[in-house]
Amino acid sequence: MTTGEATKNRSGALLEGIRSSSWQSRAAVAVVAVLIVLLLVQGVRDPGQFTSQLLIGLTNGAIIALIALGYTLVYGIVELINFAHGDNFMIGSFVGLTVLSGTLFGLGLFSPISGDSGAALKIAGVLIALVVAMAACGAINVGIERIAYKPLRNSPRLAVLITAIGMSFILQNLGLVWKGPAQVPFPDLISSANALPGDTIVFRWKDVFVIAVTVPLLLGLSYFIKNTKQGKAMRAVAQDKEAAAMVGINVNRTISITFLLGGILAGASGVMYGLFNGITVFNVGFTQGLYAFTAAVLGGIGNLSGAVVGGLLIGVIGSMADQYIGVRWTAIVIFAVLVLVLVFRPTGLLGDRSATQGGGSDRA
Amino acid sequence: MSAANATGRGASPLKRFGLPALLIALALLFPFLDDGLGLGLMFPVIVIAVYVMLALGLNIVIGFAGLLDLGFVAFYALGAYVVGWFASGHFNQVSISFLSTARSISGGSPAGIHISFWILLIVAGAFTALCGIIIGAPTLRLRGDYLAIVTLGFGEIIPRFFQNGDNLGGFNLTNGTIGIKSIDSPGISILPDSLSTWQRFGTLDLNPWYYTILLLVLITVYVNIRLRDSRLGRAWVSVREDETAAAAMGINPVTTKLWAYALGAMFGGVAGAFYGAFIKSIFPTSFSFNISILVLCMVILGGMGNIYGVILGAIALQGINFYLLPQINDWVHAIGESLGSPLLAGADIPKYNFFIFGIILVLMMLLRPEGIIPNRQRQEELHDDSDAGGDALGGTVRA
């Protein structure tokens, strides 16, 4: 067999593949390709701006990915869209803000940390804020599960979805009462100066901060799920609750721990969101939650790496839409992505898997 | 067992027709009651009636066909904007009038498109039904949660599109956040002058509005009942219970679901059209996700699939919004004053509306998930412990 024939065969197989695919998937691939080409054209016209926008997108995406992981962890294990998760993220940003301002429920524990404080104080403050917010959100998430979801473990899915919406309303209202209806400013603790030399490509210290917090969290989560006994139990419960219970896994505790993990990530994400954007507001959880949910769906809900990839992609799509389409169309672009992904590839880019592996594909 | 049995087809005529007749008579007499007792409840009652209609529309989608729709507000908004576009001075580039009550000050035909409200009701219904088919056709093959999310996506996109639609390539389609204002009043101009309030519906006498929405609600209820007991209604139940089995019995699941989606959308659109004309100005912010959730909660609280339950759910939830929450505010203030507690006396209860609302939702689901007046068939499903499989509405979470 000559090389020419081999090439012919390969191209023949490719043609066959194209022929056998549905017109919808062909159209979808064509549209995505055109969009990528258009973006690359922009990238060639102004590489500096394009790269900066890409980096901002990745940073935003990291924040979204942390929330998306909470959705996907919970969905993977109890098949519930945890509507309250976005609002838990908002509570996380409020807790962080309260810690930084030193006024935990009017106790005035220490003087507020502001942009003028010393570097050591700033670092300590941010770390304490992160830890407190993570703990608070983890606890809230576990509490919500105990009160509102656990009693409904055997009810129709819709009943649990409604209680999730109810909890979302409750948290949002708590936020409204706590910090009021207006946007609340975050102290400007992390420099917005460019971390890279020169000013063609902008990658601020703020972005460095987000990446520096996100990467260890992701590595930690990955280690927890892959290597610890509890992580293995989570995977087992995600695959088959009854079988997991039969081999002696405490299913209820495992579900609680899943909610705890989701809450911890949401708390960290909330504090970072506040520090990164300089503001937070009581209903920020709704939009960010929906973006994160879109990210989870885009990556393949129930799939942990999918949530991270989806989060980063949504971040980049959002920042590109901000730059090249217009900020006010960004939300529509992201929701259009959500709809298109679900219509053309409901299992997401990396496939629909429960928690980390196996199972679940039959329920699509 | 068909859902029709729930209404008691074998029951005595008194039981079958007595209660509805009594309720209709009460509804017809309500304006006199309101006037006589000086309740001043006409405005909230009309809004409640709009929500009853929305809830009945959504009931077709969720209660009958078992499709979870989290973006129902999209159709409500589309219906309202149909009236906004074709019965106001919004498109002032043209001047088209057709059987409209709108008059310009100079006596000539006013700027903008002005078409009779009654025609627009039908147009809005047809348009939203068409939109329902367009949105539904590619998405309805998805099941359960996925469908819920797609509809949520549409429910977010459409109001945002209206918000941004003031400059679509230079064309002002929706007037952005400012919204469309001074929408024409409906009216029946052929009536004699003795019925002047009916010639052009005003803002002082709300009776014409009330009877119009009452008629629309009654039509909706009638269509709901007839649909439920029809061949299509039984097809919905079978697709809801087991899509594969239904398909094997010769039911086309996609067409069946599309009908549910289109009919539900149509009622949402008509309700939106009425609301637009009644409120007279529409803004994109009036059509937020919260409305979708509110209507969904009405259907679920009342009892999915049960028409009386859904009506009761709508009245109860909007009643809580309009009546109970302000009342609670007064009660708390009174208690605070009698106890001499400034904290309670000055408490701003409306601030906690969503909190109370959320608590009601959670408690309801924990204590009575089948709704206030459950659909008998649904109730049996809910109390059946066997694992019915993974659908979002009928199935159970495997434990």
| Cβ neighbours for A9, distance < 8 A, ≥ 6 positions apart | none
Compare CB distances from A157 to B153, B353, B397 and report the shortest one's residue.
B397
Chain A interface includes B391 (CB < 8 A): yes
Which pLDDT score, from 0 to 100, does residue A360 have?
Answer: 37
**Are B397 and A163 an interchain contact pair (Cβ–Cβ within 8 Å)?**
no
Q: Tokens representing A52?
A: 């900066």
B residues 272-301 closer than 8 Å to A (CB) = 289, 293, 296-297, 300
Which pLDDT score, from 0 to 100, does residue B3 have?
Answer: 44
Which pLDDT score, from 0 to 100, does residue B151 have?
Answer: 87
Tell me if A270 is assigned to some domain: yes
The answer to whether B162 touches B284, Cβ cutoff 8 Å, is yes
Compare CB distances from A167 to B139, B296, B358 and report the shortest one's residue.
B358
Cα distance between residue A100 and residue A189, in whole Å: 10
Which pLDDT score, from 0 to 100, does residue A52 have?
Answer: 86
Average confidence (pLDDT) over A126-130: 90
Compare CB distances from B398 to A166, A170, A241 and report the shortest one's residue.
A241
In sequence order, what E strands does chain A have?
Answer: 184-185, 279-280
Which pLDDT score, from 0 to 100, does residue A192 have?
Answer: 79
State whether residue A190 is helix, strand or coil: coil
Tell me if B104 is assigned to some domain: yes
Tell me if A355 is assigned to some domain: yes
Q: What share of chain B is helix, strand, coil (3-state, %, to 5)?
A: 65, 5, 30
Which pLDDT score, from 0 to 100, does residue A359 have?
Answer: 37
Phi-psi region of B95 (alpha: psi -120 to 50; beta: other; left: phi over 0): beta
Tell me the per-residue pLDDT of A249-305, one tens digit each, with 9 for 90 and over.
Answer: 999 999 999 999 999 999 999 999 999 999 999 989 988 998 999 899 888 888 889
Which pLDDT score, from 0 to 100, does residue A153 have?
Answer: 85
Measured between CA atoms, the residue of chain A closest to residue B391 is A157
Tell me if A69 is assigned to some domain: yes
Q: Tokens representing B112?
A: 């903008």
Which pLDDT score, from 0 to 100, does residue B7 have?
Answer: 47
Tell me if A203 is assigned to some domain: no
Tell me if B119 is assigned to some domain: yes
Supply the range of the domain harboring residue A91.
Answer: 55-192+211-363
Q: What is the dihedral of CA A198, A199, A202, A203, to 10 degrees?
A: 20
Rounded to the nearest angstrom, the minimum Cα separation between B142 and chain A is 8
Instruction: Tell me the pLDDT of chain A averaged across its residues.
Output: 84
Instruction: Report whether pLDDT(A107) > 60.
Output: no
Tell me if B395 is assigned to some domain: no
The answer to whether A297 touches A347, Cβ cutoff 8 Å, is no
Tell me if B389 is assigned to some domain: no
Contacts of A289 in chain B (CB under 8 A): none
Q: Is B270 exposed, middle or buried (0-12, 13-18, 19+ CB in 10 A)?
A: buried
| DSSP code, position A234 | H
Mutate: best of B352, B362, B379, partner A, most A CBs <10 A:
B362
Which pLDDT score, from 0 to 100, does residue B385 have?
Answer: 47
User: Is residue A8 very low, low, confident or very high in pLDDT (cuts 50, 70, 90)?
Assistant: low
Chain A interface includes B346 (CB < 8 A): no
Contacts of A162 in chain B (CB under 8 A): 296-297, 300, 361, 364-365
Rounded to the nearest angstrom, the minimum Cα separation between A334 and chain B is 9
Predicted complex: ipTM over 0.95: no
Top-confidence residue, B93 or A251: A251
Instruction: Report whether pLDDT(A7) > 70.
Output: no
**Are A331 and B156 an interchain contact pair (Cβ–Cβ within 8 Å)?**
yes
User: Which of A118-122, A295-299, B208-212 has the weakest average pLDDT?
Assistant: A118-122
The answer to whether B372 touches A128, Cβ cutoff 8 Å, is no
User: Which of A3-7, A163-167, A340-344 has the weakest average pLDDT?
Assistant: A3-7
Instruction: Report whether pLDDT(A352) > 80.
Output: no
Which pLDDT score, from 0 to 100, does residue B59 have?
Answer: 94
Rounded to the nearest angstrom, the minimum Cα separation between A231 and chain B is 19
Supply the range of the domain harboring residue B366.
Answer: 3-382
Tell me if A130 is assigned to some domain: yes
Strands laid side by side in the B112-115 sheet: B87-88, B112-115, B95-98
Rounded to the nearest angstrom, the minimum Cα separation between B18 and chain A is 33
Average confidence (pLDDT) over B249-272: 93
Cα distance between residue B48 and residue B28, in whole Å: 15
Average confidence (pLDDT) over A10-30: 65
| DSSP code, position B6 | G
Compare CB distances from B361 to A165, A174, A286 and report the shortest one's residue.
A165
How many residues are given for chain A? Answer: 364
Q: Tokens representing A186?
A: 């975050």
Count: domains in chain A: 1
Per mean pLDDT, which of A151-155, B18-22, B220-224 is the most reliable? B220-224
User: Which of A106-120, A157-171, B225-239 has the weakest average pLDDT?
Assistant: A106-120
**Are B366 and A329 an interchain contact pair (Cβ–Cβ within 8 Å)?**
no
Rounded to the nearest angstrom, the minimum Cα separation between B384 and chain A is 10
**Are B153 and A165 an interchain contact pair (Cβ–Cβ within 8 Å)?**
no
Tell me if B223 is assigned to some domain: yes
Chain A interface includes B231 (CB < 8 A): no
Rounded to the nearest angstrom, the minimum Cα separation between B175 and chain A is 15
**Are A156 and B296 an interchain contact pair (Cβ–Cβ within 8 Å)?**
no
Instruction: Report whether pLDDT(B10) > 70.
Output: no
User: Is residue B129 very low, low, confident or very high in pLDDT (cuts 50, 70, 90)?
Assistant: very high
Cα distance between residue A166 and residue A83, in whole Å: 9
**Are A165 and B293 an interchain contact pair (Cβ–Cβ within 8 Å)?**
yes
Top-confidence residue, B386 or B249: B249
Average confidence (pLDDT) over A15-27: 65
Buried b or exposed e, range A88-105, using 16+ CB within 10 angstroms:
bbbbbbbbbbbbbbeeee
Average confidence (pLDDT) over B52-77: 92
Cα distance between residue B17 and residue A252, in whole Å: 50
Cα distance between residue B339 and residue B264, in whole Å: 50
Top-confidence residue, B135 or A139: A139
Domain CATH code at residue A80: 1.10.3470
Instruction: Report whether pLDDT(A24) > 60.
Output: yes
Compare CB distances from B397 to A79, A147, A286 and report the shortest one's residue.
A79
Top-confidence residue, B382 or B372: B372
Q: What pTM value is reported for the model?
A: 0.82
Tell me if A63 is assigned to some domain: yes
Count: domains in chain B: 1
Measured between CA atoms, the residue of chain A closest to residue B147 is A342
Mutate: best of A158, A249, A287, A341, partner B, most B CBs <10 A:
A158
Contacts of B174 in chain A (CB under 8 A): none
Which pLDDT score, from 0 to 100, does residue A111 have?
Answer: 64
Per mean pLDDT, which of A47-51, A229-233, B106-110 is the most reliable? A229-233
Tell me the per-residue pLDDT of B325-351, one tens digit each, with 9 for 90 and over.
Answer: 777 778 888 888 888 777 777 677 777
